[in-house]
Structure 1
Amino acid sequence: MPRGGKRGHKGRGKQFSNPEEIDRQMKAQKELEENPNAEKETSDNSDEESSSDDESDSRKRSGVEGLIEIENPNRVSQKSKKVAEVDVTAPRELSRREREEIEKQKSKERYMKLHLEGKTEQARADLARLAIIKKQREDAAKKRDDLKKDKDDDTKAKR
């Protein structure tokens, strides 16, 4: 039976690169980027030395990392610090959310201070409304007093 079953084989067989060859190419590419003026003779000599380095590097890495060198700028490597190296007195950088929260609280406090002083538009509107209500209550109190006096006068006159 053919390789692909009844339908036949489509496409080519997959060819995989040797991990040592990939590492060698990556090292050569990095050297060219760092030293564009370097000649090939020096890279040939370093290939023999770097092959032993590549083997030790691949032993240290586990899984796919040994085969593929990852250059992801978003990837953050975990750097462990010794307790002696950690500076407790240094100010800690705040996260974006923490900074926004602090700014929000400060702006709210500023607004409340201005509001209490009567400098905000809402405070002015509130004070005007309170003045109107105060006047209405005073007028209502005067009317009640007048009505009370009239009733008292009427009851005195009837006696």
Structure 2
Amino acid sequence: MGRGKFKGKPTGRRQFSTPEEMLAGTSSRPRTFKKEEAELEEDISEEESEQESDEETEKRKGTEGIIEIENPNLAKPKTLKARDVDIEKTTELSRREREEIEKQKAHERYMRLQEQGKTEQARKDLERLALIRQQRAEAAKKRDEEKAAKEQKKVEARK
């Protein structure tokens, strides 16, 4: 009587191949996964070698060589060799890059107009600047007058 949960090896009829079956290759024994995979790889490599002899194609993995797939979302390899690069071809910028360049150009254009005094803000700044210059000129004139008045008082006090 077995104790515990496990009872050891499974019992049942085991199937053995006869030597004749083994030589003929008609064994009823199931093949292992690795053997089946190796045979599948051999079949695929034979088919690929036939296809490559007809026309040159890029290497494909797994069942891609067997089944033709046209997937628009499938990422295509972007790597290029140095000799294949087209120098004259311009690469398209991303949306963010385009927006950044447009922003810089707009800022430069605005600054040029600002220097020329053609923008609203530049006009306001120039008016404010003119007003400040006028106030400073008046203050300097007043100081000169006061200074002259003090000196005149000193001269009169000495007499």
TM-score, length-normalised on structure 1? 0.53
Determine the structure 2 residue equivalent to 1:110: 109
- Residues 69-84 of structure 1 mapped to structure 2, 5 A cutoff: 73-84=72-83
Q: In structure 2, how many angstroms separate the alpha carbons of the residues matched to 1:79 and 1:132?
A: 63
Q: In structure 1, how many angstroms separate the alpha carbons of the residues matched to 2:121 and 2:72?
A: 49
Larger Rg: 2
- Residues 89-128 of structure 1 mapped to structure 2, 5 A cutoff: 89-128=88-127
Q: Aligned in 2, Cα 1:146/1:79: closer, same or farther, shift over 3 Å?
A: closer
Q: Aligned in 2, Cα 1:80/1:56: closer, same or farther, shift over 3 Å?
A: farther
Paired amino acid for 1:108: H
Paired amino acid for 1:61: K
Q: In structure 1, how many angstroms separate the alpha carbons of the residues matched to 2:156 and 2:78?
A: 100
Deviations 1:2-44 (A, max 9, x none): xxxxxxxxxxxxxxxxxxxxxxxxxxxxxxxxxxxxxxxxxxx
Identity %: 55
Paired amino acid for 2:139: A
Q: Aligned in 2, Cα 1:82/1:153: closer, same or farther, shift over 3 Å?
A: closer
Determine the structure 2 residue equivalent to 1:147: 146
1:93, CA displacement in angstroms?
1.7
**Structure 1: segments with no counterpart, 5+ residues:** 1-51
1:83, CA displacement in angstroms?
4.2
**Structure 2: segments with no counterpart, 5+ residues:** 1-42, 49-58
CA RMSD of aligned residues (A): 3.3
Aligned positions, number: 105
Q: In structure 1, how many angstroms separate the alpha carbons of the residues matched to 2:151 and 2:92?
A: 77
1:70, CA displacement in angstroms?
7.3
TM-score, length-normalised on structure 2? 0.53
Task: Name the structure where helix makes up a greater proportion of residues.
Answer: 1
- Residues 8-157 of structure 1 mapped to structure 2, 5 A cutoff: 56=47, 60-62=60-62, 73-157=72-156
Higher relative contact order, chain-length normalized (CA < 8 Å, sep 6+): 1
